[in-house]
């Protein structure tokens, strides 16, 4: 047992800090919490909260699918082509909200309720959560529909921009659940967000007891409003949709609640017409971000290829790069340290001879899972290659029975073609 663990055990056994929370059903220890001072007027001074150089123009990009248009709010995509290393600065973190602008939550008013099949229902204020043992971990967060905006689109931002990676800080959900006391039939949790539409998802209790974080910080500062301020779930390696933002309630239950997003969306139809539900784990995936679609190589000669790899299976073990359309593969250098369930930066030295070439990357994770080609994915799903090009499945999926969204969990190898003129183009379908 490492010292961190034994300290936590002691903490929980002694229950000193938590004792006040557990008395009398649904207490809140706010009376014992130092009252936060009234926030000062937000500083307008750029030296109080820094701004980037006015010459920097990288930006998130809104996309408006039918779903977003219906609900009146776009998803913003991370400009992967403009980023280096593995951390996504919070202002670039992709951001989805199913229908509403981020709720404007006063952290002093916010509460997290834990109830259901527990011995002691609990309510936590932010201040109380921040007194508990915390962890900081680097994890990617990827929407299950990353790429569904259009796989043949021009830039890596459009094809892959619904993944980001942050250092998240918060309390392990297992700490809170143990404090509440799990009853024997408990096997799922249902997590609920605080926005008007109350985004709600069921999550297996096993994962909750393993590594889910109730996060209040992102890259060292408070979680951004769009990303869940003041509190969100971070669920390593599993689809974005269950990482409930603006978290206000966790109910411990003995079966999933079959909420709208788990019974009509994020469901995969198989060729036999039956659906697979609760596909949580993201597959092994990678993409070259530099050079990538829409960019131009000014001349032949040396370039460092660079990109990102990640997998819901755990750590990225190997990234290979092909500069000849997949005929031969060589190992790329992988940036250390490699974190489990995190973006992993790879780099590959390359000399462009001025000929037309196709650049690809391929991820292998710690489970030995290898990122598939588009042909392999098609075989697995029992569909033709042209299936991936049409946007009909996603559109019809959200508006007509059987409400199945077959365009989720897409992780095929991406191809970028460099033409003789040096322009880089999406070659996934060529
Ligand atoms: N409360 C709430 N949580 C939510 C959502 C939402 O609309 N409301 N969107 C989900 C989806 S679909 C994804 S992909 C992730 C995205 O997290 P981000 O917006 O911080 O990138 O949040 C998930 N959590
Ligand atoms: Mo999503």
- Say if CB 164 and CB 78 are below 8 A apart: yes
Task: Annotate 355-394 with b (16+ C-beta within 10 A) or e (fewer).
Answer: eebbbbbbbbbeeebbbbebeebbeebeeeeeebeebebb
The preferred substitution site among 98, 145, 191, 202 for testing ligand 1, maximizing ligand atoms within 8 Å of CB, is 98
Taking residues 150-169, report their average pLDDT.
Answer: 93
Q: Give the per-residue pLDDT at 24.
A: 37
**327 CA to centre of ligand 2 in angstroms:** 34
Q: Give the per-residue pLDDT at 72.
A: 56
**Which residue did the predictor score with more confidence, 420 or 13?**
420
Q: Model confidence over 231-284: pLDDT tens digits?
A: 999 999 999 999 999 999 999 999 999 887 787 777 776 666 677 778 899 999
Q: Which atom of ligand 1 is closest in space to residue 97's alpha carbon?
A: 7
Q: Specify the range with the lowest mean pLDDT, choosing from 31-40, 87-96, 98-107, 406-415.
A: 31-40
The preferred substitution site among 65, 80, 198, 240 for testing ligand 1, maximizing ligand atoms within 8 Å of CB, is 240
- Say if CB 371 and CB 364 are below 8 A apart: yes
**143 CA to centre of ligand 2 in angstroms:** 4
- pTM of the model as a whole: 0.88
**5 CA to centre of ligand 2 in angstroms:** 33
CA atoms within 13 A on the CB side of 256: 15
Residue 170 binned pLDDT confidence (cut-offs 50, 70, 90): very high
**190 CA to centre of ligand 2 in angstroms:** 17
| Residue 255: Cβ-neighbour burial (10 angstroms; 0-12, 13-18, 19+) | exposed
**120 CA to centre of ligand 1 in angstroms:** 29
Q: Model confidence over 292-310: pLDDT tens digits?
A: 999 999 999 999 999 999 9
Q: Give the per-residue pLDDT at 395.
A: 47
The preferred substitution site among 62, 97, 250 for testing ligand 1, maximizing ligand atoms within 8 Å of CB, is 97
Q: Which atom of ligand 1 is closest in space to residue 144's alpha carbon?
A: 14
Residue 81 has pLDDT above 60, yes or no: yes
Residues having CB within 6 Å of any atom of ligand 1: 93-98, 141, 143, 193, 195, 199, 226-228, 240-241, 243-246
Taking residues 95-101, report their average pLDDT.
Answer: 72
Note residues around ion ligand 2 (Cβ under 5 angstroms). 96, 143, 240-241
| Residue 43: Cβ-neighbour burial (10 angstroms; 0-12, 13-18, 19+) | exposed
**Which residue did the predictor score with more confidence, 145 or 347?**
347
The arrangement of strands across the sheet holding 188-193 comes to 122-125, 111-116, 247-253, 188-193, 200-204
**141 CA to centre of ligand 2 in angstroms:** 9
**29 CA to centre of ligand 1 in angstroms:** 29
Residue 99 binned pLDDT confidence (cut-offs 50, 70, 90): low
Q: Give the per-residue pLDDT at 71.
A: 55
Residue of minimum CA distance from atom 11 in ligand 1: 241
Which residue, among 86, 81, 44, 46, has the nearest Cα to 60 in the 3D structure? 81
Q: Give the per-residue pLDDT at 36.
A: 54
């Amino acid at each position: 047992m490492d010292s961190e663990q034994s300290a936590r055990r002691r903490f929980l056994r002694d229950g000193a800090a938590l004792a006040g929370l557990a008395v009398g059903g649904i207490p809140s220890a706010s009376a014992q919490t130092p009252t936060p001072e009234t926030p000062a007027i937000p500083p307008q001074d750029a030296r109080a909260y820094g701004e980037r150089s006015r010459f920097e123009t990288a930006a998130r990009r809104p996309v408006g699918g039918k779903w977003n248009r219906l609900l009146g709010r776009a998803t913003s995509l991370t400009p992967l082509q403009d980023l280096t290393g593995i951390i996504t600065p919070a202002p670039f973190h992709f951001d989805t909200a199913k229908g509403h602008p981020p709720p404007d939550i006063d952290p002093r008013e916010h509460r997290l309720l834990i109830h259901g099949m527990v011995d002691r229902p609990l309510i936590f204020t932010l201040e109380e959560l921040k007194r508990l043992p915390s962890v900081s971990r680097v994890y990617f967060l990827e929407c299950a529909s990353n790429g569904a905006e259009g796989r043949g689109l021009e830039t890596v931002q459009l094809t892959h921009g619904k993944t980001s990676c942050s250092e998240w800080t918060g309390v392990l959900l297992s700490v809170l659940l143990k404090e509440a006391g799990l009853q024997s039939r408990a096997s799922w949790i249902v997590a609920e967000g605080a926005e008007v539409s109350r985004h709600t998802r069921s999550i297996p209790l096993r994962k909750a007891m393993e590594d889910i974080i109730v996060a209040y910080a992102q890259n060292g500062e408070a979680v951004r409003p769009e990303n869940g301020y003041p509190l969100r779930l971070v669920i390593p390696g599993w689809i974005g949709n269950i990482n409930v933002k603006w978290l206000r309630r966790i109910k411990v239950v003995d079966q999933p609640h079959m909420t709208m997003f788990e019974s009509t969306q994020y469901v995969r139809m198989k060729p036999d017409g039956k659906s697979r539900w609760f596909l949580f784990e993201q597959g092994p995936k990678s993409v070259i971000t530099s050079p990538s679609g829409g960019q131009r190589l000014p001349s032949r000669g040396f370039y460092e290829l660079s990109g990102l790899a990640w997998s819901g299976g755990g750590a990225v073990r190997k990234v290979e790069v092909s500069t000849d359309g997949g005929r031969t593969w060589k190992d790329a250098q992988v940036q250390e340290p490699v974190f489990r369930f995190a973006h992993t930066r790879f780099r590959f030295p390359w000399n462009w001879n001025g000929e037309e070439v196709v650049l690809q990357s391929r991820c292998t994770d710690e489970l030995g899972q290898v990122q598939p080609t588009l042909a392999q994915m098609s075989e697995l799903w029992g569909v033709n290659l042209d299936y991936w090009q049409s946007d009909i499945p996603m559109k019809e999926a959200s508006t007509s029975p059987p409400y199945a969204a077959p365009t989720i969990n897409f992780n095929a190898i991406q191809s970028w073609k460099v033409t003789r003129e040096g322009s880089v183009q999406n070659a996934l379908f060529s």
